[in-house]
Structure 1
Amino acid sequence: MTRSLSDTPIAADDRGLAYGDGLFETVLVRDGEPQLWPQHMARLARGCRALGIPMPAAAELDGLPGQAGAGLMVLKLIVTRGSGGRGYLPPSPAEPRLLWQLSRFAPQVERWEAGVRVRHCRLQLGIQPALAGLKHLNRLENVLARSEWDDPEVAEGLLCDSQGSLVEATCMNLFWQRRGRLETPRLDGSGVAGTLRAALMERLPITEVVAGPEVLAEAEAVWLGNSLQGLWPVIRLDTADGAMQRCWTLAGLRRDIQREAHELLGYPAEFGH
């Protein structure tokens, strides 16, 4: 099931289509109730301020999740600067476009319990503090990184920036436990500051750090997470060439971070031993 406000094609001169000049959010909606809605709206507002795009009216946005009806859905929101301007010069004032879509969703629940295999990516993320943390429409780096593998046994790829610091996975944030402490990469140069990440950092003592991939050799446990899938424990890490680099066991895995994540999203919080 897919529904959208727009029954007509997107204008060819829309700046989101032409330049990636816009932002998007993907929101988990359960029986018409959006999960992590305050975090999604806060990130969208930050992005609009950073790009100088007027934020859509709250009344317009707040009414969209309720159109989902029963069951689990994903609401995708896209805000572009609209049309106009001359080349890269944006129009002033801008007349932004809001596009939205509702689609059925089912999380990959087997990965909550069994864990996942991931690999390093060759692609390095560019550093641009002005865009760091935002979920903007220009995601070509992530597209290229995700195209590096087609093995269905590999769930995700880890990305470093051009200075060699860990940032994220292609569509998930990265967490690990080192010396009993929960850590996550600092995202002040690149990457997407996920809404689940933000909510977890409000609940748990998670420290932002700048570290290269070698830090994972010291980690007692590693997780990937986002606001749709919840949190996956990592059980195997491969090099970009597919060679096994590190494994982790699920025995004795610290599950509190996973329980917190799943409570935030309305998923089962009790699993594993």
Structure 2
Amino acid sequence: MRIDGRARALIAADDRGLLYGDGLFETLRVRAGVCPLWDRHVARLRVGCRRLRLPPPAAGALERDRDALIAGAADAVLRITWTRGSGMRGYAPPLAATPRCVLALAPAPAIPVHWYARGIRVRFCDVRLARQPRLAGIKHLNRLEQVLARAEWRDAAIAEGLMLDTGGHVIGATAANVFAVIDDMLVTPRLDQAGVAGVGRAVLLDAFPKTRVRALRRTDLERASEVLLVSAVRGALPVRRLDARRLPVGPWAR
């Protein structure tokens, strides 16, 4: 772990990221000492900084910290946490913020190979995502909705949970974006009111420019011929069972 360019693991108790969730984060897959999607993650981090009116990372600073951590890492996950830094009590942000940067490296999650070959089991969550256009799309530090949703099940056979917003629209999984094949067309939810516009999602949208980005309801997924969950860490995982409904691992997943 590195905090503000130094190898350490303690953070100030008055950090606004800790006190108010005032900040952003990115979670990157590392393979053979390289972050393949680095540029996309940094671009999204900068978008989040503009949205939250946070000073962005200085050019080169993140790269130096990254290189110090991932050298020799064969298969790992790197998390960047970017907060507004320390400040006085109260919600009002400091006029001249000094952001704090935390980089942490951890082993890559153990993902069963059969998940990719045979698909995963997924459920719908009861917790709904609040609609807030100002925060929609970015990866801000407040993940309490996802924490509560993930607490709804303990069955290890269920790999993920799908979340709707308070308007009843499908947004994504607790830690992934969702794609579906409906009427032979690849579709993915609009994320202008809630949710995170994932880097893995962006890769697929670039690769398949005819994908339709539109509002989706639960009933749309219930008639889909394929459902996929996509993230930068796990890649694309086909869904073989959504609640009680069984789905094929079809050509789009392949």
Q: CA deviation at 1:63?
A: 2.6
In structure 1, C-alpha distance between the alignment counterparts of 2:81 and 2:216, rounded to whole Å: 32
| 1:115-264 alignment, distance < 5 Å | 115-204=119-208, 205-238=210-243, 244=244, 246-250=245-249, 253-255=250-252, 258=253
Q: CA deviation at 1:107?
A: 4.7
**Equivalent AA in structure 2 for residue 26 of structure 1:** T
Q: Unpaired segments of 5 or more residues in structure 2?
A: none
Q: Secondary structure at the match of 1:149?
A: coil
Q: CA deviation at 1:207?
A: 1.2
Which residue in the other structure is 1:88 paired with? 91
Q: Secondary structure at the match of 1:216?
A: helix
Q: Secondary structure at the match of 2:48?
A: helix
Which residue in the other structure is 1:241 paired with? none
Distance 1:27 1:8, change over 3 A: closer
Number of aligned positions between the proteins:
247
Worse overlay, 64-73 or 164-173? 64-73
Q: Is the 8 A contact 1:34 1:65 kept in 2?
A: no
Worse overlay, 173-182 or 104-113? 104-113
**Equivalent AA in structure 1 for residue 251 of structure 2:** R
Distance 1:148 1:54, change over 3 A: same
Q: Unpaired segments of 5 or more residues in structure 1?
A: 239-243, 260-273
Q: Is the 8 A contact 1:107 1:229 kept in 2?
A: no
Q: Is the 8 A contact 1:24 1:137 kept in 2?
A: yes
Q: Is the 8 A contact 1:107 1:228 kept in 2?
A: no
Worse overlay, 62-71 or 225-234? 62-71
Q: Is the 8 A contact 2:163 2:173 kept in 1?
A: yes
In structure 1, C-alpha distance between the alignment counterparts of 2:134 and 2:74, rounded to whole Å: 38
**Equivalent AA in structure 2 for residue 232 of structure 1:** L
Which residue in the other structure is 2:17 paired with? 16
Q: Secondary structure at the match of 1:202?
A: helix
| 1:29-40 alignment, distance < 5 Å | 29-40=30-41
Q: Is the 8 A contact 1:24 1:77 kept in 2?
A: yes
Please say if 1:4 is aligned against 2:9. no
Q: CA deviation at 1:165?
A: 0.4
Q: Is the 8 A contact 2:2 2:65 kept in 1?
A: no
TM value normalised by structure 1? 0.87
Distance 1:207 1:85, change over 3 A: farther
In structure 1, C-alpha distance between the alignment counterparts of 2:65 and 2:117, rounded to whole Å: 32
Distance 1:179 1:169, change over 3 A: same
**Equivalent AA in structure 2 for residue 154 of structure 1:** I
**Equivalent AA in structure 2 for residue 217 of structure 1:** E
Q: Deviations over 1:129-180 (max 9, x none)?
A: 0000010000000000000000001111110000100001000100000111
Q: CA deviation at 1:54?
A: 0.6
**Equivalent AA in structure 1 for residue 233 of structure 2:** L
Worse overlay, 189-198 or 64-73? 64-73
Q: CA deviation at 1:86?
A: 4.3
In structure 1, C-alpha distance between the alignment counterparts of 2:237 and 2:33, rounded to whole Å: 25
